[in-house]
Chain A
Amino acid sequence: MLIELAKIVIFPGFLFLLAYSLFAQWLDRKLYARMQNRVGPPLVQPLADIVKLFSKETIIPASVDAFLFRVLPYFAFAGVTTSFLFLPVYSSTPVTSFPGDLVVVAYLLTIPTLVLSLSGWVSCNVYSVIGGIRCLSQLFAYEVPFFIALLTPAMLLETWNISEISKNLPSFLAAHPVYIIPVGVAFVVAVISLQGKLERKPFDIPDAETEIVAGPFTEYSGRLFGIFRLTLDMEMVVGVSLLAAIFLGGAMPFLGIPGLVMFFVKTFFILFILAYIKTAVGRIRIDHMVSFGWTTLAPVSILAMLFVVILHKGGLL
């Protein structure tokens, strides 16, 4: 009981997620800065930012629904933190797990986006409302490809359990190398969709600074904004860990400390890809985003899935 609680609160649960998300934010900013020939922030900068935000006054605009305005950031925070408990960190067994937890994690990861768009609506500010609308329009573009990409390995292994997938995928791919093609394609689709989910370049359309100030966050300040910032960092870690678990085998093939190291190596790899994409491109427009999602990402992910369905389920291989 006590050990279970410690697992949830300290490692690999909440506190570990907190520490790693601050580190991941630093790594992301540092990589971004170095690729742009800048110095970048010191290691404690993300922590200092959060401490600063938490110690600042929280201003709640007079015209908003104060209850909803206050409660929304915590919803997003809770959704993201819970989803991390289903992800394997130092071994293939996460804190908690049940058949079909992949779907739960995917849905929990949708909550921040919904909360963002809702917080844009309750903010009663034209920039926030536009940001909220953009959040939702963008959600329709990347969510379907993201789910299909996640389900491709699940179909292959006939299990919707994250730890089962991360345990069995490497050996399965080693036995049947032809499936590296659909899984690889699904991985690329998932990384691009994750970039959209995290609202990073080129998909940072909902909080495009030069257009709509900070989008849904425009009216948020102090602690509430701090919670949002922390949530986005955690969402990045959860998303990256999810991709590492599904496509790269999570902590496999090690257990314990080497497994943890393996987890870090794999997540750093995905973080590097994310930072590289962020550096290499500019922001695209919302109409380009939606058409890109439906004309490129979705068909490609469906093709990868069809490949699996026809070859594997059809019994050809």
Chain B
Amino acid sequence: MNENVILPIGPQHPLLKEPMHFKFTIDGERIVDADIRLGYNHRGIEKACEARTYTQDLYMIERICGICSHTHATNFVQAVEEIMKAEIPSRAKYLRVVVAELERIHSHLLWLGVAGHEIGFDTLFMLSWRDREIVQDLLEIITGNRVNYGMNTIGGVRKDMSKEEISQCLAGLKTLEEQTLYFANVAQNETTFIRRVDGVGILPKDIAISHGAVGPTARGSGVDLDIRRDAPYAAYGEIPFQVITSDRGDVLGRTLVRVGETLEAIKIVRYCLEHLPEGPIVVKLPRKVQVGEAVTRYEAPRGECIHYVRANGSEKPDRVKVRAPTMANLVSIRHCLINQQIADIPIIVAAIDPCISCTDRTAVILKQDGSHKTEVIDWATLRKRAIYKKPLK
């Protein structure tokens, strides 16, 4: 084949659960080049935050992502609390960690299922999603909700845990640990699974660092990086836990890191539930947020998530900026994809656990001279550029 074929994937494709566009240049079954385009799912959430009060923002920010909803909510709340210089009760901190780690378990089990599906191993998908229900039930016991937990409030958490709830959770964790150990065994020993992920999508340590990979993607390449340990927030400073890394650098490495983290998260939740401090769960804070700004970092299931909040003294924030972990990991994905096979596209893309709806933001591109690359076009020109030339009826 002299001419290379362009294989377009997305924005609508069975591989992608969310809209994203890849343009692969392929030579036979080999990928020669890859190009990624985002921007199909822009929701204007940052601008919307500026038009609402802090409390309203909290609920909207929680809806940035369906999987790491607690991540964004906690991150935002921490930023606001930092501006207000508020110290929240330690029981609230522990409860935030409990929900955060359960969310990590649920996210990683979900990822394992998706990874299985991407390589055509649907049984793994069905079984891991079945057992993910246990976590969902635990989250429902703790917070009352399965997906958007609504646990956080500015100054603490909304809901306390009773003795019965704690014992229910501990019992659920036991089943969960057994099932996770089973999946860990599958991920480490099942031949067809190993053959599809071993040595696939290699991301060397130096590339992972230079391309700014975060979370399990970085840790799977041997970069020892975890915000929970490096810049502890909530109660992480008081909880003993291990940061799982793997030197493999391939998709198998990322899988092993995620499986290890799931087991570690179960231990963290158990520790928190057993050492839950007594006391109030929320502090009373003034209605208005004083002038100030804050950046907070949070170790989401997918990696480091950054929120920036600027307050101007009114009841609405002046600016909210969200940098989701997928944004950082997408940069390294091209390096992983080149020289791989078409068959490996799904698992390599899935290996960073992309969450496009969290990631999409608009960006204004500046020209060489620093001016805005914008132009004013009239309706007729816009029509000419449209796919449907005729006016729509």
Chain A residues packing against B (C-beta within 8 Å): 35-38, 126-127, 129-130, 201-202, 204-205, 208-213, 279-288
Return A19 CB to nearest CB of chain B, in Å. 28
Asked whether, in the complex, the Cβ of B343 is within 8 Å of the Cβ of A36, the reply is no
| Cα–Cα, bound, A35→B122 (Å) | 11
Chain A residues lying within 8 Å of B119, measured Cβ to Cβ, are: 210, 282-283
Asked whether, in the complex, the Cβ of A285 is within 8 Å of the Cβ of B192, the reply is no
| Cα–Cα, bound, A279→B13 (Å) | 24
Chain A residues lying within 8 Å of B117, measured Cβ to Cβ, are: 210
Contact of B14 among A36, A129, A204, A210 (CB under 8 A): A210
Asked whether, in the complex, the Cβ of A282 is within 8 Å of the Cβ of B343, the reply is no
Asked whether, in the complex, the Cβ of A35 is within 8 Å of the Cβ of B345, the reply is no
Contact of A210 among B5, B6, B118 (CB under 8 A): B118
B124-132, B152-160, B253-261, B286-294 - interface stretch: B124-132
Q: Which residue of A lies closest to B24 (CB)?
A: A126
Asked whether, in the complex, the Cβ of A208 is within 8 Å of the Cβ of B123, the reply is no
Interface size on B, residues (CB 8 A): 31
Decide yes or no: A282 and B192 within 8 Å by CB, A210-B346, A212-B342 being known contacts: yes
Q: Which residue of B lies closest to A127 (CB)?
A: B7
- A-B contacts counted at CB < 8 A amount to 76
| Cα–Cα, bound, A22→B190 (Å) | 32
Chain B residues lying within 8 Å of A38, measured Cβ to Cβ, are: 126
Return A203 CB to nearest CB of chain B, in Å. 10
14 pairs across A/B with beta carbons < 8 Å?
Answer: A35-B123, A36-B123, A36-B126, A37-B130, A126-B5, A204-B120, A205-B343, A210-B118, A280-B123, A282-B196, A283-B119, A283-B121, A284-B196, A285-B196
Contact of A285 among B122, B126, B127, B344 (CB under 8 A): B344
Q: Which has the most chain B C-beta neighbours within 10 Å: A129, A208, A211?
A: A211
Asked whether, in the complex, the Cβ of B7 is within 8 Å of the Cβ of A36, the reply is no
Does B163 count as interface, using CB distance less than 8 angstroms? no
Chain A residues lying within 8 Å of B124, measured Cβ to Cβ, are: 282
Chain A residues lying within 8 Å of B123, measured Cβ to Cβ, are: 35-36, 279-280
Asked whether, in the complex, the Cβ of B126 is within 8 Å of the Cβ of A211, the reply is no
Q: Which residue of A lies closest to B191 (CB)?
A: A281
Asked whether, in the complex, the Cβ of A211 is within 8 Å of the Cβ of B15, the reply is yes
Asked whether, in the complex, the Cβ of B126 is within 8 Å of the Cβ of A209, the reply is no
| Cα–Cα, bound, A212→B15 (Å) | 9
| Cα–Cα, bound, A87→B7 (Å) | 43
Q: Which residue of A lies closest to B28 (CB)?
A: A133
Chain B residues packing against A (C-beta within 8 Å): 5-8, 13-15, 29, 116-124, 126-127, 130, 190, 192-193, 195-196, 341-346
| Cα–Cα, bound, A145→B241 (Å) | 53
| Cα–Cα, bound, A38→B122 (Å) | 12
Chain A residues lying within 8 Å of B196, measured Cβ to Cβ, are: 282-285
Assuming A36-B127, A285-B196, what are 4 further A-B pairs, CB within 8 angstroms?
A126-B6, A127-B7, A130-B342, A284-B195
Q: Sort A-B residue pairs by CB-CB distance and give the 10 closest, nearest first.
A: A283-B120, A282-B121, A36-B126, A210-B346, A282-B192, A281-B192, A285-B343, A210-B15, A282-B119, A209-B14
Asked whether, in the complex, the Cβ of A288 is within 8 Å of the Cβ of B195, the reply is yes
Chain B residues lying within 8 Å of A286, measured Cβ to Cβ, are: 29, 341, 343
Q: Which residue of B lies closest to A203 (CB)?
A: B120
Decide yes or no: A37 and B126 within 8 Å by CB, A209-B14, A210-B15 being known contacts: yes
Q: Which residue of B lies closest to A205 (CB)?
A: B343
| Cα–Cα, bound, A209→B122 (Å) | 12
Chain B residues lying within 8 Å of A202, measured Cβ to Cβ, are: 120, 192
Return A63 CB to nearest CB of chain B, in Å. 16
| Cα–Cα, bound, A241→B7 (Å) | 39
| Cα–Cα, bound, A205→B346 (Å) | 13
Asked whether, in the complex, the Cβ of A130 is within 8 Å of the Cβ of B7, the reply is yes
Return A81 CB to nearest CB of chain B, in Å. 29
Asked whether, in the complex, the Cβ of B120 is within 8 Å of the Cβ of A210, the reply is yes
| Cα–Cα, bound, A284→B195 (Å) | 8
Asked whether, in the complex, the Cβ of A208 is within 8 Å of the Cβ of B343, the reply is yes
| Cα–Cα, bound, A284→B193 (Å) | 9
Asked whether, in the complex, the Cβ of A282 is within 8 Å of the Cβ of B342, the reply is no
| Cα–Cα, bound, A282→B127 (Å) | 14
Chain B residues lying within 8 Å of A37, measured Cβ to Cβ, are: 126-127, 130
Return A73 CB to nearest CB of chain B, in Å. 22
Chain B residues lying within 8 Å of A288, measured Cβ to Cβ, are: 195
Contact of B116 among A130, A205, A282 (CB under 8 A): A282
| Cα–Cα, bound, A54→B153 (Å) | 55
| Cα–Cα, bound, A282→B350 (Å) | 16
Return A9 CB to nearest CB of chain B, in Å. 38
Q: Which residue of B lies closest to A212 (CB)?
A: B342
Asked whether, in the complex, the Cβ of B7 is within 8 Å of the Cβ of A285, the reply is no
Asked whether, in the complex, the Cβ of B343 is within 8 Å of the Cβ of A281, the reply is no
Q: Which residue of B lies closest to A126 (CB)?
A: B7
Return A61 CB to nearest CB of chain B, in Å. 16
Chain A residues lying within 8 Å of B15, measured Cβ to Cβ, are: 210-211
| Cα–Cα, bound, A284→B121 (Å) | 10
Return B130 CB to nearest CB of chain A, in Å. 6
Return A29 CB to nearest CB of chain B, in Å. 12
Q: Which residue of A lies closest to B114 (CB)?
A: A210
Return A239 CB to nearest CB of chain B, in Å. 21
Return A300 CB to nearest CB of chain B, in Å. 17
